[in-house]
Amino acid sequence: MAKKQFKTESKRILDLMINSIYTHKEIFLREIISNASDAIDKLCYRSLTDETVGMTREDFRIRIDVDKDARTLTVSDNGIGMTREELEANLGVIASSGTRAFRDTLSGGENADEVDVIGQFGVGFYSAFMVSDKVTVITRAFGAEEGYRWESSGADGYTVTPCEKDTVGTDVIMHLKPDTDGEDYSGYLESWQLKELIKKYSDYIRWPIHMTVERREWDEKGGEDGKGAYNTVEEDQVVNTMVPIWQRPKAEVSDDDCKAYYKEHFRDTADPVGVIRVNAEGLTSYKAMLFIPAKAPYDYYTREYQPGLQLYSAGVMIMDKCADLLPDCFRFVRGVVDSPDLSLNISRELLQHDRQLKVIAANLEKKIQAELTRLKDSDRDHYLTFYEAFAPQLKYGVVGDFGMHKDQLKDLLLFYSVKQEKLISLAEYVEAMPEGQEKLYYACAETTKRAAALPQAETVKAAGYDMLCLTDDVDNFVMQMLGSYNEKPFCNVTSDDLGLESEEEKKDTEQKEEEYRGLLDFVKESLPGLVESVRLSHKLKTQPVFLTTEGEVTLEMEKYFQNLPGVPEADNIKAKRVLELNAEHPAFAALKKAYEEDKPRAARLSMVLLAQAELIAGIPLDDPAAYTELVCGLF
Ligand code: ADP
């Protein structure tokens, strides 16, 4: 029979895997057992609403069998099974939803990244090939009349054929590789070693894992001389304790246990920065174990990412990703919620409106908030790790839903402080404010260095005040949404009044503006449609010009919208530009002279000054060639 080929991506992964990116080959057993457990979860859930399943909770089990002569290790379950189509879809391609990302990473090509990405998908079923040279899957789906046999010897492809199977469920038969110098595959045929592996990785699996275990028993009359000897007796044992980690008393479970569970269960390679354990009793009782990840999954900031917590009721998994348990701004949190109180016999749709679920969600939100605050206040290094991965999420949380969550989130934000040269919170900024400082100053730019080098930053610094540098696209919206902190208004140094000019300075500027009215109007006319107004400024210390804006739209917003792909209207979102000139600068003197003696030259100088201002503000020139010509024309 013709072999079917694996999808290309799967083939690459299989190769990678067989060539052992995993140093711990033994994890294959955990993967196969966890698939069996998931399959049972599905059928058990089904049995709650579908009588034709004909099974109760007590009937479900996983079995491990070995055949030393045939060198096979078999993991069987009486779960939901797979139809022919499911066999093809699930085992013919690795993690199909992730294949595109896979392709991207593989073609991007650093080896280290590949391993990382694989870790996130979970190689699952394919890990069987790390220890087997052939894998046979015999399965019958719930509701199907016949079974199917899938078989593959690795990267060269697989076959699927109909076969006999009396009961619903799946047997995964692994034909172990021959032993080599470095690897003792035969060990996976020893019941004591298998038992150890199950204890180590799969103890919390909620379904009993049965295995025939050999035990030595003293027989008083045994032996050839009848004086007694050890007999080997075989007995069927359940080798796992079946108590899920979140159900065990806090004192019994160490932080390391929780972290290990997180990494295995949620397929992360990094320890979480925070673990939250909740044991709530009362009107709605539940247990929860939540994790705050250290890094964002590869697809976190895409539509593909599905947030949510795993929801169990009395040991039965009802939902893998219950999004209603998490507020959107904390959608990075992973974890498990188990409540015996949830009414089980209702459909998933109805469950989403369950009042109890709302109560749990509201409590968890408070716990997450508290844990993040604790990390920020007393474990800043871990918080910084978290913040690097999820700051955009918190910021989108501030601006989303019309700012509904801004008060809740504002104290979790950190921004780069020019004075302290590190990320600080708004509270820390305010705390360090000298007497008399009325505003919280910030500047937006591509990098903190650029922000700190803005001419207005000099003015703020000269006043002895700190300035926050904002480098994320969303930051500017965050500040507009917050408006103020502790009743002190935010001040964007490039668009708002710094409030640092004395009355005298203001008067002086006004006077000068009157004096140079003709020149300023001329500059504006020389830049038709390009600037809203032309002014003199006190803010500028060493620079000749600067661009600021009037009105709601700032330069950062304009840039942000223009970078949005596929939004043609975005071109109409323009900041109203104000060209500010430094009357003390030699450039101004040259402009004034030209205005008096050579108007065309003054017009050219105006254009050069605008281009200079745009460059300082980080706006690329529309036409660099024309600009060069313009400058050269002045010589
Ligand atoms: P993952 O478990 O991460 O989805 P796997 O490669 O381990 O990836 O498995 C792929 C899919 O194959 C599973 O999602 C499941 O649908 C199906 N599958 C694997 N093992 C079993 C099993 N024992 N019973 C039923 N379905 C299974």
Angle at 229 between CA 228 and CA 231, to 5 degrees: 130
| 125, 135, 136: residue to mutate for ligand 1 pocket, most atoms within 8 A of CB | 125
Q: What mean pLDDT, rounded, does the chain reach?
A: 86
pLDDT at residue 173, rounded to an integer: 98
Nearest CA to ligand 1 atom 4: 95
**What is the 176 CA–ligand 1 centroid distance (Å)?**
20
Per-residue pLDDT reduced to its tens digit, 242-259 = 888 899 899 989 999 899
Measure the N-to-C terminal CA separation of the chain; round to a whole number of Å. 82
Please compute the mean of the pLDDT values over residues 77-102 and round it to a whole number: 72
Short-list 222, 196, 221, CA closest to 209: 196
**What is the 90 CA–ligand 1 centroid distance (Å)?**
6
**What is the 35 CA–ligand 1 centroid distance (Å)?**
5
| 90, 202, 306: residue to mutate for ligand 1 pocket, most atoms within 8 A of CB | 90
| Residue listed under structure tokens 């009355």 | 503
Percentage of the chain modeled with pLDDT above 90: 49
Per-residue pLDDT reduced to its tens digit, 366-422 = 999 999 999 999 999 999 999 999 999 999 999 988 889 999 999 999 999 999 999
CB 150 within 8 A of CB 91: yes
Per-residue pLDDT reduced to its tens digit, 15-56 = 666 655 555 788 789 889 989 998 999 999 899 889 999 998
Per-residue pLDDT reduced to its tens digit, 152-172 = 987 778 899 999 999 999 999
Q: What share of the chain is helix, strand, coil (3-state, %, to 5)?
A: 45, 20, 35
- DSSP SS3 for 12: helix
DSSP string of 364-395, one letter each residue = HHHHHHHHHHHHHHH-HHHHHHHHHHHHHHHH
pLDDT at residue 120, rounded to an integer: 44
Q: Does any ligand 1 atom lie closer than 6 A to the CB of residue 82?
A: yes
Q: Does any ligand 1 atom lie closer than 6 A to the CB of residue 169?
A: no
Residue 274: both structure tokens together: 């925070």
- Kindly give the interhelix angle for 380-399 and 475-482, rounded to the nearest 10 degrees: 70
pLDDT at residue 346, rounded to an integer: 43
**pTM listed for this prediction:** 0.69
- Kindly give the interhelix angle for 8-18 and 99-108, rounded to the nearest 10 degrees: 60
Nearest CA to ligand 1 atom 19: 35
> In Å, what is the CA distance from 15 to each residue of 90, 112, 127?
18, 15, 11
d(CA 625, CA 291): 54
pLDDT at residue 454, rounded to an integer: 83
Pairing of strands 488-492, 440-444: parallel
What burial letters (b/e) apply to 375-402, b meaning 16+ CB within 10 Å? bbeeeeebbbbbbebbbebbbbbbbbee
Nearest CA to ligand 1 atom 1: 124
Nearest CA to ligand 1 atom 15: 90
Pairing of strands 158-163, 147-152: antiparallel
Pairing of strands 209-219, 62-67: parallel
SS3 string, 566-611, reads CCHHHHHCCCEEEEEECCCCHHHHHHHHHHHHCHHHHHHHHHHHHH
Q: Does any ligand 1 atom lie closer than 6 A to the CB of residue 124?
A: yes
pLDDT of residue 329 exceeding 60: yes
Residue 621: both structure tokens together: 């020139």
Neighbours of 106 (CB within 10 A): 16
pLDDT of residue 121 exceeding 60: no
Identify the weakest region by mean pLDDT among 54-68, 471-485, 530-544, 577-591: 530-544
pLDDT at residue 102, rounded to an integer: 41
Q: How many residues in total does the chain contain? A: 635
pLDDT of residue 8 exceeding 70: no
Identify the weakest region by mean pLDDT among 261-270, 272-281, 381-390, 414-423: 261-270
Q: Does any ligand 1 atom lie closer than 6 A to the CB of residue 10?
A: no
Nearest CA to ligand 1 atom 14: 90
Please compute the mean of the pLDDT values over residues 276-293 and round it to a whole number: 93
**What is the 376 CA–ligand 1 centroid distance (Å)?**
39
